[in-house]
Structure 1
Amino acid sequence: MTAGQPFAEWMKAVQSGIEHALDGFLPPVSEAPARLHAAMRYAVLDGGKRVRPLLVYGAGELFGADSAVLARAAAAVEMIHAYSLVHDDMPCMDDDALRRGKPTVHVEFDEATALLVGDALQSQAFQVLSEGETLADPERQLAMLRLLARAAGAGGMCGGQAIDLASVGLTLALGELERMHQLKTGALLRASVLLGALAGKRLEAAEVAALEAYAEAVGLAFQVVDDVLDATADSATLGKTAGKDAADNKPTYVSILGLAESKALAEKLRDDAHRAVVPFGEKARRLREIADLVVQRKA
């Protein structure tokens, strides 16, 4: 991957590289328990846009991070994301049968296996991030582990999911909806950005502030676009069940703001993301391009 590489080529290279890394970091089906390992691989491999790994690599380029460390950080955050999808799709949560264009894990395997897949992927993520190519700075590596743990827990992704489940059928104010998604979606996207940056160096306060402002804008834009697509695209395009938020009576940006205003908000958030990384100059090119990808995506 080179700095002058067109974004589409850079993105494809990152996606291909992280697929290879994940394949190596996941336990093989040749080892027992084979069914659990097969289900873990089914949940993680051959699917998804890999937005979080893209953010890891995009931020890593700002500070010349080592590619081996970036691979571990990107794989760890993608395993956390994949585990959350497996649990999110289960009957006790959103009860969905389609994810990434194929049957969800509990449908393809069974509910007990799906539960274990999520548990195992979460543990595997921290194993991957703590082993192998270690940083010269142990404090920085510990900071990366702490960052991922906080993003995945009650103060991040899990907390946001709890609020989401408790909000079904309720009318939320815009600020309440935003707070829910800052936790459910935004926390892991923020962690992706900061993990990539920390793979390169210890961060100054001003650098953290700029990256957090970028991540907050991208995280909210991602959810706004998700809500727009859920209301406008079909299941074949999305790779998951379309219209499910409305069917489940969930509060969304579209239900609160309407379609046109939601699209306008996504564009504003993209502009906010671009402005946040101005201090980094041309080195932030990939982060700007990822913000464009998030807002312009069709699935």
Structure 2
Amino acid sequence: MYIPRFLPSLTAALILSALLSACGGSDPAAPAAAETDPYAGGAAYPWTYAAPSGQLSAQRLTAALNTLSFEPLLAATNGWGPIELDHSNGEQRAGDGRTLTLGGVTYAEGFGTHAGSEMRFSLQGHNGARCTRFTSRIGVDDEVGNRGSVVFQVFLDGALAYSSGTMTGASATRNIDLDISGRGELRLVVKDAGDGINSDHADWANPQVRCENDPGADLRYSFSFPRGINARYGKTATAILRVTDEPGHTSGPVSFKLSVFNWTSPGAPPLQLIEPNRVYDATTLPAEFPVRLRLRTPFPDGFTPPTGTVEITFAANLEDRGFFKRASLNWNVLR
């Protein structure tokens, strides 16, 4: 997941202080410099993120245990620089966090945030998956010691579903385990506890959403290439794959991978998908996806490669469903 990083500048006073410290003498009898309070004067470094226009989409939540730090955010805010992925908040710069650590236990995945912060996620499962539970370990990161005082909150479809009460750096790590069945949006909030934001480094460790296949889901997706393409052997071309619901039916969000099923011309060489491991997903239908392709070369000596129209059939393999849908593309192979 990519979160844009916007870096607030240090004030001229802090820069000057750092320069003076670097130039100071090494007299061992000199008193130690007082630690600079980064929150002095009510300092804050607010950061805001919104998904780019036209790219606001649901998570690719499938029938599995989905870790949220692998999924795209819909929107987010943070009170002290950017939210950090799989690291503590650190300070106001991007990428300055440490390993997420709560009560001496480290976590490889999660979000390092700072009061006040908010993260929004969709809970729409793909391919008929129903999302049922949200779990996470929460607490004030060890990097601030016993300092900090925050309140963790979870909202489901705008309604408060969980509140931790005040937690400090001395508080034991807590576990959230919520039923999210039938809910559409998850919002994770960290507030200060009424005494300002000093040292309010708050971790969502191992945040996960569990989803399950609905065995009764009637998935009636339709896959097609409405327009053929024209290209020579060895050249890359882009075809447009269109995914719709069958008339009068709503299947919900879709997620799939493509593979080459067959082609009608016996002499046609294997087709190469330029992005063979790409996951195609859409929240709403109809949706169109560019598919980059190439007909391979070279050919054996004495072999005349066919030209003209070649019909190529693709398989759209629906994740976690164990079946696929077909789509055929007409490729006019140019001389």
Bigger Cα Rg: 2
* The two structures share one fold, judged by TM-score above 0.5: no
Higher helix share: 1
* TM-score (normalizing by structure 2): 0.23
Pick 1 or 2: higher relative contact order, CA cutoff 8 A, min separation 6. Answer: 1
